[in-house]
A and B are shown apart, each in its own frame.
Chain A
């Protein structure tokens, strides 16, 4: 489903963020990406979202080399995956419902279907009664649930979570992780970049570690530090 072969990313200032990275993720897998700050995790996310292009190497998602996409094809790549960020990235002036619905409006779903599916997803993340509130009226955990609802509303095959619990207290974090596990159990491939040692150590999922841009560890049932 997702494959990186010999992916290198060097920035114009000479720093090499990723160096000859090879990695393959099967459909339905749950993968933690760990590593110290500056190890290349953020760059990896940017490459997968096609915010950046690799300097060399190939990144294939569903058999398609995304490095070769033309600018107007990039939005369609992004629609095929859901993304969740540490800082939630919600529209501050839009209600919860509008934020979630937007992902479906973008793909021009019929309004009737949007209403039904948004209600369904808000129920799944436990925010049905907050559908008309603004992000600023919600707690951090609730905002991340909204972001998560938006990420999965189009039933993507791949969910990219970039430190989704980075801004949340441990208890709230577990709530989000449980949701991610639920989503993963329905067949969505999950790639979660994280610093949350406790979560990684408890779940014992596949762990990929980056160190100074190199992939140094890839364990099937790994823990945070190898």
Chain B
């Protein structure tokens, strides 16, 4: 077992080596930082695309046009609709409100509606929301068969297309993310491998002197950890700062767009990038050493 004070030596040795090989240290940290930054930027974009998709999906609803019902009948029907699995919100829209909406919709071009307001041709309706977007069709089917419901509108084709698009966006996003993460991993691991290759003679000397594999490995692993941590910190800082400024500007430019809010998203993102940096740093140096430690 290694004595505790020897760990002090490992840290000291890792620190000295990082300083003495300052160019290699700088190159490695920059590589880690740039790779993680690219990955981070993509994650930010992906999170925002996901937010848009979720926002669009969240607006999907089922509209049930009603026959002429008494208040009691309507109350009963509302209770029945609320009992359908997946239904989260049921809102009654009286025909007068529907008419108002129609007027607002046409804005300045509402002239052709003049004369209709007395005999409002629109019906009372319920607007129904589902907990998850893909349950909208199910909910619509269940509402259709209820007594008192004359017609159910849910934009079957639009909803189905929209769901297909959001699903595709997510899949492509995940695919790109995995590819990018692998590329970052490869680049970082390769940088560390080069750094270790440059020091293979040192490793050979340590072995002649009788250093055990773990004794050789520890300082390198600590170095990898520090490189990963510093690179991750750089990437996270640049990204957090950049995104914060970007969202501040964008919220003013496009106020109703569902931007992912910086908090706590950035905190999670920073933690993720730091963890990736540290894990790759440790694994990269630990594994790259193997070929110089065999036999």
Contact = CB atoms under 8 A, between A and B. Distances in A.
B2 A75 contact: no
27 contacts: A51-B295, A72-B212, A75-B207, A75-B210, A75-B211, A77-B210, A78-B207, A78-B209, A78-B210, A83-B208, A89-B204, A89-B208, A90-B205, A91-B205, A93-B20, A103-B210, A105-B6, A105-B9, A106-B206, A106-B209, A106-B210, A106-B211, A106-B212, A106-B215, A107-B210, A108-B3, A111-B5
A95 to B, nearest CB: 10
A172 to B, nearest CB: 22
A117 interface: no
Contacts of A76: 210
B17 interface: yes
Interface in B1-29: 2-3, 5-6, 9, 17, 20-21
Interface of B: 2-3, 5-6, 9, 17, 20-21, 201-202, 204-213, 215, 295
B210 A79 contact: yes
A51 B294 CA distance: 10
A49 interface: yes
A80 B208 CA distance: 11
Contact of B209 (A72, A92, A108, A150): A150
Contacts of A108: 2-3, 5-6
A102 interface: yes
Nearest to A85: B208
Contacts of B3: 108
B209 A103 contact: yes
B119 to A, nearest CB: 93
Interface in A60-76: 71-72, 75-76
B210 A91 contact: no
A88 to B, nearest CB: 10
A interface bracket (residues with beta carbon within 8 Å of B): 20 to 34
A90 B213 CA distance: 19
Interface in A142-163: 150
Contacts of B210: 75-80, 103, 106-107
Contacts of A79: 209-210
Nearest to B293: A71
Interface in A19-73: 49, 51, 71-72
B24 to A, nearest CB: 11
Given A102-B209, A106-B209, A108-B2, 5 more contacts: A49-B208, A79-B210, A91-B205, A93-B21, A108-B6
3 interchain residue pairs of minimum CB distance:
A79-B210, A78-B210, A93-B20
A75 B6 contact: no
Contacts of B205: 89-91
Contacts of A49: 208
B14 to A, nearest CB: 13
A106 B211 CA distance: 6
Contacts of B204: 89
Most buried by A among B9, B21, B209: B209
A156 B132 CA distance: 75
Contact of B295 (A71, A90, A102, A106): A71
Contacts of A72: 212-213
Contacts of A107: 210
A18 B2 CA distance: 38
Contacts of A106: 206, 209-212, 215
Contacts of B17: 93
Nearest to A77: B210
Given A78-B207, A78-B210, A91 B202 contact: yes
A90 B202 CA distance: 8
Nearest to B202: A91
Nearest to B2: A108
Contacts of A150: 209
B195 to A, nearest CB: 13
A72 B294 CA distance: 10
A125 to B, nearest CB: 17
A192 B172 CA distance: 67
